[in-house]
Chain A
Amino acid sequence: MTEPLVRPKRKDPLKRTRLPLSPPGARSRTALGLVAAAAQGRFMLQVCRACAKTIYPPRDACPGCFAPAPAFCDVPDRGKLLAVTTIRTSTDAYYRERMPWRVGTVQMDCGPSIVAHVHGDLAEGDRVTMSLKLDRSGQAAAFALPVKETPAMADDKQLREMTCDPKFRRALVTDGRTAVGQSCAKALSEAGCTIVFVGVSDPWKPFPGEDSLRKIPNVEIVPLDLTNSESVNDLAADIGGRVDIIVNTSEHVRAGGIMARKGLVVAREEMDIRYFGLMRLAQAFGPALRFRGADGVNSATAIVNFLFVHALANWPEFGAYSATEAACLSASHSLRAELKPGGVKFINIFHGPLETDWFQELPPPKVAPAQLVKSAVDALKRGLEDVFVGDIAQDIRDRFLANPKALEREL
C-alpha cells in the first residue's frame, strides 16, 4: 500500500534548497524512439514488419530476421512481474539520494522482458500495466504499474519523480479572464493544489466569471499582465519561489491570413501576448523553477502551454495566428532544453478550434474549455509532454506525421 503523501510543512527559508540532479540521460539514437511514445503517454516498442517480432531493448535490426530499423508501434502493455529488487546503493548521484529504489524484470505478453521501475504496490508474480514515463532527464523509462488503480497510487515516491502531479503543489494560471483560465483554476484546485495563483490584468476591472473564480478554494487572484515585463517581473519577485506549476492560459485568437490584414498591429498583439508573453514568463519564473526542481515532494515541476495545433502546419484561415503559435512551439523546444537540468517539464497541449467566442464562426467539432483543461491536468498527473486534445488536433497530428507537405496542400 502506498503511503499517502502528507502535505509538506512550510519550508524553512534558512535551509539549503536541494539542487536538482538528473538520472543518467545518455541514450542511443534508436532508443530515443521511446521518447516520442512516452511524451504522448503511449506504450510503443519496436515491432519487426517482416517477422512481427516485438523487440526490446531498441535495436537497429530485428534479432529474428535481421530486417533493418524496426519501427515503433503501439503494443499490448500487460505483463507479469517476474522478479523485484530494492536497490540500496547506487553509483549515480541522482539515485544515491533517492535510495532505496525498486526495479524489476517484467515478462511482457507481447514478448520481450523489460527491466523497469516498479510501483510500490506491486509484488513478484503480479500482473502489471507497463507504461513509458519521462524521467527527470527527459528520457523515456519503462514503469510497471498496478493493473487496477490502488489507493494513493499516484503518491508512490518513484512514480511522483516522473509525473508532475498537482497534489500539494502550487500553481500559477496566467490569465483568469478567459474561460480556459477559470476552468484551469477550478481543475487545479480540485487536483489538490494548495494554492492556485490566478493572474488577472487590471484586477480592478470586473470580468465575467469573476465571482465564481474567487469562490474556488485555494484560489488567490494576483495582478499579472503578460504584455508588461514589469508586471511579470513584479509577480515573480513576489511569488516566484513558491510556484511549482505554471499554466499559460493567455489567448489572442484572431482569424485571417497574413494578406487579409493591413499593417502589423494585430500581429504584434498576437506576438506580444502569446510569444513574448511566454518569453517574459519564462525569463521571470523559469530560473526559479529550474532551481527548485528537487525541492521536496512539492518541487517545481512543469510549465503547461496551450498551443493551437496549426503551430505544426499553418492553416491560412488563421494564417497569422498559426505563425504566432509556431513561434511558441519553437520556443517550447528551447525552454524544454533549458529547463531540463532542473527536471522541469514543458508540456504542450495542442488543440483545434475551441468552444469560445473567437472561434464562433467555425463548425464543430470544437473543444470545450473544460475538456482542454481536463487533458492538461491529466498530462500533469501522468507526466506527459505532448498532448493532442480533440479530434481535429489528433487528425492534424496524424496527417502531419504521415506527410507534412501533403498537409500543407490540404490546408
Chain B
Amino acid sequence: MSKRQRQSYKGVVAAAPVTIPYERFSIHGAHWWIGRALRALSEQARLKPADIDGFSVSSFTVGPDTAIGLTQHFGLSPRFLDHVPLGGASGVVGLRRAARAVQAGDADMVACVAADANHVDSFRRTLSTFSRFAQDAVYPYGSGGPNASFALITRDYMTRFGATREDFGRVCVAQRDNALCFPHALMKKTLTLDEYMNARAISDPIHLFDCVMPCAGAEAFLVCTEERARDLGLPFVRILSTIERHNAFMDDPIQYRGGWVVDLDDLYGLAAVKPADVDLVQTYDDYPVISLMQIEDLGFCQKGEAAAFVRDRDLTFRGDFPHNTSGGQLSVGQAGAAGGYLGLVEAMRQLCGIAGDNQVKDANIALVSGFGMINYDRGLASAAALLARAS
C-alpha cells in the first residue's frame, strides 16, 4: 500500500495558551478546572460560549461524563467534538485533530482543554482501574504504579546503553532550574545533583526526583485560522507539522524506543526543518528516561547517545539546548491529562514571546513531543509537533 503525502497545516494556528495554576490537592472536580480553562480562553479571546464551535477535551477524572456531557455542562453547541484520552500524547493529538477540523471547515474556533482533579486518594483509584491489562497483569504485581513500570524500562535502558543515574539527574536538575523562573511550578526549591542522587528510592532505579507529583490543574488553547487569530488580537503559533503513532515496535521485549522513529522523516520533511533548526524542545517527562528516549527518537542524537548528549549540553532555558523550559512535569507537577498539554502550552508561550522570566531568546521553532498510556508494560501513544513563531 503506497503512503499518501501528508497535507500541510497552512493557515491554521494554535492561539491563546492558558495555564490554570496547579494545586497539589484540590477539593474541586475536573469540571471545575475545565470551566476555569474555558473562562480564561473566553476572556483572552472575548468569546461567548456560542462562539466556540469546536471542543476537544482530555481528562482522566471527568467520569462519568465524556465530552458530550460537558457540552451541556458548559453551554456549548459545537459542530466538532473530540475526547482525547491519550494521557501524555493528548496535547499534540488534540491539536492535530482540531487543526484538521478547522482546515476542512468543520469548525472555526476549537477550544482544546485538558484538566484533571486530584483529591486525596484519586491517584490510587486511577492506577487500579487504568486499563484492562494494568488490572490483569500489572497492578496485582506489587502495585507500584507507573513508578515500577518505568523503573523496569529505566533499568533496561541503563543496561542497554550504559546510561547512569547522574545522566537522568542532569535532566531533572536543569528542569528544576527552569521551574524556579516559572511562577506556576509547584516545586519552589532548588535541586542539586547531590540531592537528586541521595533521594529516597521509590522503585529502583527510580528515586524520588525521577517522579512527577500528581496534582490538579488545567491547560488549554484555541485552534482557529490565522486570520481569525489576528482579528481577535490573540498570541498564536503556526503548526508546521505533526505526527502520532501508537503501539509501535510491539515486538520489542521491553521498550527502548517509541513511535516517533516511524514517522520522523514526515515530521521534519513536512515542516522543512532539521533537528538543528529547533530552538527549544518540550519532551514528555513523566520520567527522565523517557525524555532521553525522545531526544534520540526525535533525531537530536543517535539511539543510545542521549546520555552523552545531555552531559555535553545546558538544558536550561538559557542554555544551548533549551528543554522543558517551564520545568516540565517533574518540577511543575502532573495534573493528569493536563500533563500532556503542559509542554505544548509552554512552547506556545515561548514562541509568542510571552513566557516571562524563563523566556528563551530568539525562539522561532519549537518541537513538542507527547508520550502516554502505560497500558501494560510500555507507553503506547507517541506524538510530536513542530511549531513556529508567527512572523
Chain A residues within CB distance 8 Å of chain B: 23-28, 31, 56-58, 63, 82-92, 94-95, 101-105, 107, 113-117, 124, 135, 137, 139, 141-142
Contact = CB atoms under 8 A, between A and B. Distances in A.
Given A57-B376, A107-B253, A124-B155, A85 B135 contact: no
B140 A139 contact: yes
Please give me the 7 A-B residue pairs with the lowest Cβ-Cβ distance, nearest first.
Answer: A92-B143, A85-B151, A87-B144, A57-B137, A91-B124, A107-B253, A31-B136
B127 interface: yes
A89 B144 contact: yes
B348 interface: no
Interface string B136-157: 1111111111011101110110
Contacts of B151: 83, 85, 87
Contact of A83 (B144, B145, B201, B254): B254
A28 B135 contact: yes
A37 to B, nearest CB: 14
Contacts of A84: 152, 155
Contact of B143 (A23, A104, A105, A124): A23
A63 B380 CA distance: 15
B377 A87 contact: no
B148 A87 contact: yes
Q: Which of A88, A92, A104 is the most central at the interface, judged by chain B CB atoms within 10 Å of its CB?
A: A88
Interface in B79-107: none
A87 B140 contact: no
Interface residues of B, number: 38
Nearest to B136: A31
Contacts of B137: 31, 56-58, 114-115, 142
Q: Which of B127, B139, B205 is the most central at the interface, judged by chain A CB atoms within 10 Å of its CB?
A: B139
B201 A105 contact: no
B136 A28 contact: yes
Nearest to B124: A91
B142 A58 contact: no
Contacts of B250: 63
Given A92-B124, A116-B141, 17 more contacts: A23-B140, A24-B140, A27-B135, A27-B136, A56-B137, A57-B132, A82-B253, A83-B152, A83-B156, A83-B159, A83-B254, A87-B147, A89-B203, A91-B124, A103-B142, A103-B144, A107-B254
A107 B254 CA distance: 8
A24 B139 contact: yes
A88 B207 CA distance: 10
Contacts of B139: 24, 92
B133 interface: yes
Contacts of A94: 143
A113 B253 CA distance: 6
B142 A87 contact: yes
Contacts of B156: 82-83, 105
